[in-house]
Structure 1
Amino acid sequence: MIWLIGVGGSLGAATRFLLGKFINKKVQRFSLFPTGTWVINITGSFLLGFIANLHLTHQIHDSLWFLLGVGFCGAYTTFSTFGYETITLIGSGKIKIAIIYVTTSVFLGGISATIGLII
């Protein structure tokens, strides 16, 4: 099963990198907010909630859970980048943006995971 997690993680990390770059390039001129990581973590929370529901209700096999839930979503979402961007905002004196970033990330991530779990 570990190889499924590795394959899923590789795909999740690559997706995060490419999507984050794309989003940041599109909004960079308009935002001081770390939009790429924010969107990725919220969509990843939704996806993980959705996949977790499928797994908990036995609609998908354990191997698909390891591939998509543990591997892909685990690498697609990124707490370390979230932490780094938060301290970077604080270090740049953008305290208000950092507070908005942390608050909305945690709140909307939790709401998104819940919605994914319910759907």
Structure 2
Amino acid sequence: MMVAVAFGGFFGSILRYAIGQYVTKRFAGTWIVNVLGSMLLAFLFHEHEQGNITDQIWSFAGIGFCGAFTTFSTFSNDVLQLMIEKHYKKALFYIASSVFVSIASAAFILYFLN
């Protein structure tokens, strides 16, 4: 299982980096990967709970890939940068939109699949 998590993390972190390089608008890349990762994780969770994917695939894709693809540490750093620059409203909006949209997207996927 650890090897599956490691390989998933390898690919998830590379894709996150690539998206960050492609999406050059400040903070947009992190926001996008966190929302997409939340949606993918919800889908994978549902499929694993239904027995449609194995523990090995869950370890690779859900734990490894999604864990490395999404990034709370970068999100936290982004928020702190905004606060240091005294952009408090932008920081609050970034926090609220990231959390709300990520959770709402995951909830929508789980609702749609059930």
For this structure pair, what is the TM-score category when the shorter chain's length is used for normalisation? over 0.9
Q: Name the CA distance, whole Å, in 2 between partners of 1:9 and 1:35.
A: 21
| Residue matched to 1:70 | 63
- How far apart are residue 112 of structure 1 and its match? 1.1
Shift of residue 116, structure 1, vs aligned partner:
2.4
- Within a 5 Å distance, the mapping from 1:30-109 to structure 2 comes to 33-109=26-102
Deviation string 1:34-79 (CA, Å, 9 cap, x unpaired) is 1110011001000000110000111111110000000000000000
Aligned length: 112
Structure 2 portions without partners, runs of 5+: none
Q: Structure 2 CA distance, aligned partners of 1:40 and 1:73?
A: 9
Equivalent residues in 2 for 1:15-30, closer than 5 Å = 15-24=15-24, 28=25
Secondary structure of the residue aligned to 2:23 is helix
TM (norm. structure 2) is 0.94
TM-score by length of 1: 0.91
SS in 2 for 1:51: helix
- The answer to whether the 8 Å contact 1:10/1:75 transfers is yes
**Cα RMSD for the two superposed structures:** 0.9
C-alpha distance in 1 between matches for 2:109 and 2:57: 17
Letter of the structure 2 residue corresponding to residue 14 of structure 1 = I
